[in-house]
A and B are shown apart, each in its own frame.
Chain A
């Protein structure tokens, strides 16, 4: 017997401008999503927009259990998973690791894996596991919640939340007007010694895969070689790129959009870097998704689908939007102010299916061949 339970949550959406002004001076307590009838109190210098999201979560009579393998870090997703567990009574267990580590584990485990779902940071992670035939097809009603280009055409996984590639720049040396409209132009000699990025990072590699698909191999190679000639600073991850830009070690870097906001939250307005969205430049503003798939041999099929549906519900989508600064992928969810709407990036960007971006090995071979990766 299913007893539906209403789950609602209030979210505080801060305008980007407010974040910048509020964080350094006041205690901006951004609340976690709360279960029904709990009120969220927030104090900021200016009134934030308060949004309430609601979802009906079916509560099974015998809740059973669910094993999640998460390549997304505990700091990002633990609160929303806890909310799901609390509302449904399902005994949820989560194994955290990097997406690559978890994917390799799933590939070693094969069909014996105790996991029910794989929640990955990027499409490449679920793609690798799907290629090994370990993921089951998701129900159509689940898949249809998400625009087609953010899910696998075989229906084995779907995107959950989006992040955009952006250029992060040092505010002391540059203004947005100084930045080229197209990411390709960063190979101009004027950028010599001024740029940085993380070549081993999955998101950077996915962007290069998108370039190979839209620009073709030759232009992509030319771009990578041009970057190399500009003596870029090669960093370990997106955090490091944002920090390097803020520190003035580089003037501009290629990253995902959401890292900046966490630095702003912790370090305040004086943080020396901001994002620039390359709205007219194809792969330079690629949208990537955190993605989820269900393991075909997972013991708890129903709970797995319940969880995936929950992640695509307004409550979870609003959580990702409000708490992790990501783009929601489901209609009717409010995006952080200050971020250009997804549709704007979408229209200007490319007409590629995110699922075609799974040739990670071809991309790393190219980047390595150019000499930007060990």
Chain B
């Protein structure tokens, strides 16, 4: 059966080569426009880095290499950790008879919406020195010092808690679309459940795992909030330090080194998670395999789910609630959030739309016309995701004010910036959705006389619906917490919930930060609920 499937994968390439046609031209031009956008920040950084002669001097310093090692270590470790959390969680929710599956399924993706500086703050106030946990333990157990949360482990912990949903979401989507016949065949040939998973299921999950792990690694590279508060120095933190001393050239040079590291990680992913281009099943409605009985294993499984959801979601939310109540009792006035709710919803929703539209041509190209060049485009697109937001923002300030004055500080400009930043997330989700649609469905529509556009509109797009929804929600969630770009590029006076949270936390007004932070979680759960319904239906 596996053999039969493999024979399909050469088809699209051949048909593309034999019938070069205008849809392909259209796709290429659209994709190249997206790539050009992604290249803007890089061009800006090169211009800035060349502005100073001593920028390159930092290459000879041991410290620069130490920071590089720090960044890579954190990126790789958080990618690993998020897989160790996200993969079993997704498997338990989709494939086992774990109790309260709906509950876990709904809550598991939510930590993604917490801004990392908020999450880090919350973890420090609970797990840090003289934090809430220690105060609890002090009385009864006389424990006066907890292991320090700061440094590599604290940063890794915070980032893993925030990013495992990337792995969870993409694994869940992939798992629910694997043809159960494959696993049944494995079982009938005498493989145990464990070996079936390793030899049949896991290989099919590899593309989904790979792109999610890459997103997590790049997220860790570009993150500032968590590493800064956990006192762990990565490239992004060093870049911010440079901006703090108004040295834009040095900052740009470090950002270029960061891009270099991104390229290393992207090729690492390509090597480790070789794209097995399995074509989708011919069945249009997949039957679900019967849930696996956990038996006695349900207890450790429940403990695992409870621990992860507790630490990643319930703990932060409880502390936010505590801040809110404590502040209200002390007579704190809350910031008005009306306009910020509108701003957040508008920017995130339209941003998601922009990203999905930009990601469509790229992912079609990558999924249907795989070639060296389309692969290159796909990889280039990931670069934007690893750049600190401030570098992208300043690049658009630089180009916008000189060459696109009417667009400068307009809502459209903000959406373009969101697209640069978030398009790889959308491409990942759309590509896997496309790969799961069998090419012969499109081909039979073609052979019945439909034009390529009609096929796309009436066959491909409807079949992609879960993927489109996933891409849009992922972008929505991450745009909801975006900060530096929104601050610098949005129309002046534009407020979002994240900007209020940032402004309040940075001045130690915790109660004022709590209400908008809780609202972010609440509003973000709306598209997730939609996604869940779609996924379980």
Contact B487 A97 (CB under 8 A): yes
Indicate whether A200 sits within 8 Å of B244 (C-beta atoms), given known contacts A97-B487, A234-B231: yes
Residue of A114, A242, A247 near B130 (CB, 8 A) is: A247
The answer to whether B507 has its CB under 8 Å from any CB of chain A is yes
The answer to whether A149 has its CB under 8 Å from any CB of chain B is no
Contacts of A346 in B (CB 8 A): none
The answer to whether A373 has its CB under 8 Å from any CB of chain B is yes
Interface segment, one of B83-91, B107-115, B365-373, B396-404 = B396-404
Bound Cα distance from A236 to B237, whole angstroms: 10
Contact B246 A103 (CB under 8 A): yes
The answer to whether A329 has its CB under 8 Å from any CB of chain B is no
For chain B, the count of residues having a C-beta within 8 Å of the partner chain is 55
Within 8 A of A (CB), among B484-520: 484, 487-488, 492-493, 499-500, 502-504, 506-512
Contact A108 B397 (CB under 8 A): yes
Residue of A76, A94, A268, A361 near B247 (CB, 8 A) is: A361
Within 8 A of B (CB), among A342-367: 360-361, 363-364
Indicate whether A27 sits within 8 Å of B243 (C-beta atoms), given known contacts A101-B390, A249-B130, A259-B508: no
The answer to whether A312 has its CB under 8 Å from any CB of chain B is no
Bound Cα distance from A114 to B408, whole angstroms: 10
Contact B246 A239 (CB under 8 A): no
Contact B401 A112 (CB under 8 A): yes
Residue of A76, A96, A205, A361 contacting most chain B CB atoms (<10 Å): A96
Indicate whether A104 sits within 8 Å of B508 (C-beta atoms), given known contacts A96-B487, A247-B128: no
Contact A236 B231 (CB under 8 A): yes
Bound Cα distance from A102 to B489, whole angstroms: 11
Contact B330 A237 (CB under 8 A): no
Contacts of B492 in A (CB 8 A): 67, 93-95, 114
Indicate whether A105 sits within 8 Å of B397 (C-beta atoms), given known contacts A97-B484, A112-B402: yes
The answer to whether A299 has its CB under 8 Å from any CB of chain B is no
Contacts of A108 in B (CB 8 A): 394, 397-398, 401
Indicate whether A101 sits within 8 Å of B487 (C-beta atoms), given known contacts A75-B335, A266-B332: yes
Contacts of B493 in A (CB 8 A): 93-95
Please give me the residue from chain A that is nearest to B509 by CB atom.
A75
Contact B130 A374 (CB under 8 A): no
The answer to whether A74 has its CB under 8 Å from any CB of chain B is yes
Contact B237 A266 (CB under 8 A): no
Query: What DSSP secondary structure best describes chain B's contact surface?
Result: helix
Give the distance to chain A from B503, nearest Cβ to Cβ, in Å. 4
Residue of B246, B329, B506 near A237 (CB, 8 A) is: B506
Contact B397 A109 (CB under 8 A): yes
Chain A, residues 319-361, CB within 8 Å of chain B (1/0): the string is 0000000000000000000000000000000000000000011
Please give me the residue from chain A that is nearest to B512 by CB atom.
A75
Indicate whether A268 sits within 8 Å of B330 (C-beta atoms), given known contacts A247-B128, A248-B130, A374-B238: yes
Give the distance to chain A from B33, nearest Cβ to Cβ, in Å. 24
Indicate whether A374 sits within 8 Å of B67 (C-beta atoms), given known contacts A100-B246, A101-B487: yes
Contacts of A268 in B (CB 8 A): 330
Contacts of B129 in A (CB 8 A): 244, 247-249
Contact B487 A95 (CB under 8 A): yes
Bound Cα distance from A237 to B128, whole angstroms: 16
Give the distance to chain A from B72, nearest Cβ to Cβ, in Å. 15
Chain B, residues 304-337, CB within 8 Å of chain A (1/0): the string is 0000000000000000000000110111110100
Contacts of A76 in B (CB 8 A): 507
Bound Cα distance from A75 to B516, whole angstroms: 13
Contact B327 A104 (CB under 8 A): no
Within 8 A of A (CB), among B367-405: 390, 393-394, 397-398, 401-402, 405
Chain A, residues 53-71, CB within 8 Å of chain B (1/0): the string is 0000000000000010000
Contacts of A262 in B (CB 8 A): 507-509
Give the distance to chain B from A372, nearest Cβ to Cβ, in Å. 11
The answer to whether B285 has its CB under 8 Å from any CB of chain A is no
Give the distance to chain B from A272, nearest Cβ to Cβ, in Å. 8
Contact A374 B503 (CB under 8 A): no
Indicate whether A114 sits within 8 Å of B409 (C-beta atoms), given known contacts A96-B503, A104-B248, A247-B128: yes
Residue of B228, B231, B244, B509 near A100 (CB, 8 A) is: B244
The answer to whether A305 has its CB under 8 Å from any CB of chain B is no
Contacts of B408 in A (CB 8 A): 114
Chain A, residues 65-100, CB within 8 Å of chain B (1/0): the string is 001000001111000000000000000011111101
Bound Cα distance from A94 to B490, whole angstroms: 11
Bound Cα distance from A128 to B326, whole angstroms: 40
Bound Cα distance from A259 to B240, whole angstroms: 22
Contacts of A201 in B (CB 8 A): 244
Residue of A107, A237, A240, A263 near B248 (CB, 8 A) is: A107
Chain A to chain B contacts (Cβ below 8 Å), 29 pairs: A27-B329, A27-B330, A29-B331, A32-B333, A73-B503, A73-B507, A74-B335, A75-B509, A94-B492, A95-B492, A95-B493, A96-B499, A97-B488, A100-B243, A104-B243, A104-B390, A104-B394, A108-B394, A108-B401, A109-B401, A112-B401, A114-B409, A237-B506, A240-B229, A242-B508, A262-B507, A266-B330, A364-B241, A374-B67
Given contacts A96-B487, A201-B244, A266-B510, 7 further A-B contacts (CB under 8 A): A74-B500, A75-B335, A100-B240, A202-B244, A205-B244, A249-B130, A360-B245
Chain B residues with CB under 8 Å of chain A are 63, 67, 128-131, 228-229, 231, 233, 237-238, 240-241, 243-248, 326-327, 329-333, 335, 390, 393-394, 397-398, 401-402, 405, 408-409, 484, 487-488, 492-493, 499-500, 502-504, 506-512
